[in-house]
Structure 1
Amino acid sequence: MITKWEVLSLIWASGVAYTAPRILNRWSLITTCDPIELCQGCRDERRYVMQEGMTYEVMGAAGGPLQVLVEAFAWYLKPFLPALRRAAGRPPLPTCSKGSCLAHTSTRRRA
């Protein structure tokens, strides 16, 4: 008999397995592009990823996968992030302009 916690754990693990490759693809796009060719939202995201990467760098080879897993663990909180930032009195995170942003056009070419 499967309990409700096992079902929730399965849903959560499926979300992590689905989100992790998408995070890797996105980070690959924004970190390989020239920051000048990115929009402000992607530049901020790139800066955040690079700063977090330096934090996990001390863990050696396990640091990169751990960084992706930590980011993917909170996939269910992403829809609530704007409301949480508003409640905390912080400005909203900039989003990708999608028009002239090189990271967005690279995504579109691959799709």
Structure 2
Amino acid sequence: MISEWDVIWLVWAVGTAYRAPRTLKRWSLITTCDPLELCDGCRDERKSVMREAHDWDHFGPVGVPLLVLLEAMGWYIRPFSPAFRKAVGKDPLPTCSKGACLAHTRRKAAA
């Protein structure tokens, strides 16, 4: 018999499995691009990703996959992040301006 917790666990696991490759692709885009060609939101995200990756270096080759997995595990919290930040009095995080941002247009990074 499947309990309600099994269903919740399954939904969470599927969401994490779906989100992990997308997170890795997004981080790959913003870390391989020239920071000058990124918008403010993507530049801030790039800085944060690079800082976190540096913090996880002591795990060796497993550090980055663990970091991606941890980011993907919080997929259900992401929509509530602006409300949480507002509740504690922090400014909202900058978002991608989309227009000419290299990370949004998904063009190849400059070599």
Normalised-by-shorter TM-score class: over 0.9
d(CA) in 1 for partners of 2:18, 2:105: 23
What is the RMSD of the two structures over their aligned residues, measured on CA atoms? 0.8
| Alpha-carbon offset, residue 103 of structure 1 | 0.8
Q: Which structure shows the higher helix fraction?
A: 1
d(CA) in 1 for partners of 2:66, 2:103: 24
Counterparts in 2 of 1:71-86, with a 5 A limit?
71-86=71-86
Identical columns (%): 62
Query: Which residue is equivalent to 2:49?
Result: 49
Query: Which residue is equivalent to 1:99?
Result: 99
d(CA) in 2 for partners of 1:71, 1:106: 21
Which digits, 9 at most, give the CA deviation of each residue in 1:65-107, with x for residues without a partner? Answer: 1000110111000000000000010000000011111111116
d(CA) in 2 for partners of 1:5, 1:104: 37
Structure 1 residues without counterparts, runs of 5 or longer: none
d(CA) in 2 for partners of 1:88, 1:71: 21
TM-score by length of 1: 0.94
d(CA) in 2 for partners of 1:24, 1:47: 15
Runs of at least 4 residues off by over 2 Å:
none
d(CA) in 2 for partners of 1:99, 1:89: 29
Which digits, 9 at most, give the CA deviation of each residue in 1:42-75, with x for residues without a partner? Answer: 0000000000001111100110110001101110
d(CA) in 1 for partners of 2:47, 2:25: 16
Structure 2 residues without counterparts, runs of 5 or longer: none
Query: Which residue is equivalent to 2:64?
Result: 64
